């Protein structure tokens, strides 16, 4: 018996709910996930083990970049989709992503240095296509645009950032806001849809 087979058998015995034949092969699990987490920790990142990384298509190391001292809290999901353009996520240094955030990209999603993202926030670069009403929306692929957060941006809890939005440096977005258009640097926005308040 090979060593890897013995390790897998031991792992199955310890955790009866674990499935090496994962029904979602795009989700990092088991040994792949721990290898990925350890590599990020060696780069100076702090990532909670409950973080889910979903990667469609090629391996994520070339499409998911994190700067030093990035911290990702528990329950976050990082999703890299594959459509006409492969998604990419670039996270700067000293970034904090709060608990239970969803960060998904079929395009380019960039988060600048020293940015704070509050709990339960949702950043996405894509929406489902709705061009053919005869087909299910889930099978029509994605459409959208790049999302960019500048340096030192602060998103409150439960902020939604929609595709094609750019948020400038030093901007603040209030809790619960839905950002549908660009926010200039050094401004504070809040509301649904988000509007300038200061």
Active site residue 128: yes
3-class state of residue 60 by DSSP: helix
Is the distance from CB of 115 to CB of 149 less than 8 angstroms?
A: yes
Q: Quick one: how far is CA 104 from the chain centroid?
A: 5
Q: What does DSSP assign to residue 13? A: H
3-class state of residue 172 by DSSP: strand
Under 8 Å CB-to-CB from 194, ≥6 apart: which residues? 173, 174, 177, 178, 179, 180, 181, 183
3-class state of residue 139 by DSSP: helix
The single residue of 65, 107, 120, 128 carrying the catalytic annotation is 128
Is the distance from CB of 142 to CB of 122 less than 8 angstroms?
A: no
CA–CA distance, 103 with 56 (Å, rounded to integer): 14
Kindly list the catalytic residues.
128
């Amino acid at each position: 018996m090979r060593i890897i087979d013995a390790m897998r058998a031991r792992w199955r015995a310890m955790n009866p709910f674990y499935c090496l034949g994962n029904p979602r092969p795009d989700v990092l699990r088991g040994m792949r996930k721990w290898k990925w987490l350890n590599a990020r920790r060696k780069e100076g990142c702090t990532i909670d083990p409950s973080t889910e990384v979903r990667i469609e298509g090629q391996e994520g190391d070339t499409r998911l970049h994190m700067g030093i001292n990035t911290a990702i809290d528990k329950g976050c999901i990082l999703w890299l989709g594959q459509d006409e353009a492969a998604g990419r996520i670039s996270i700067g240094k000293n970034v904090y992503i709060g608990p239970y955030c969803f960060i998904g990209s079929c395009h380019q999603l960039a988060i600048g240095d020293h940015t704070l993202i509050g709990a339960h926030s949702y950043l996405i670069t894509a929406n489902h296509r709705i061009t053919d009403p005869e087909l299910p929306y889930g099978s029509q692929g994605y459409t959208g645009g790049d999302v960019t957060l500048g340096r030192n941006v602060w998103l409150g809890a439960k902020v939604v950032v929609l595709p094609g939005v750019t948020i400038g440096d030093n901007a603040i977005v209030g809790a619960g806001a839905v950002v549908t258009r660009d926010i200039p640097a050094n401004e504070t926005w809040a509301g649904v849809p988000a509007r300038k308040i200061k």
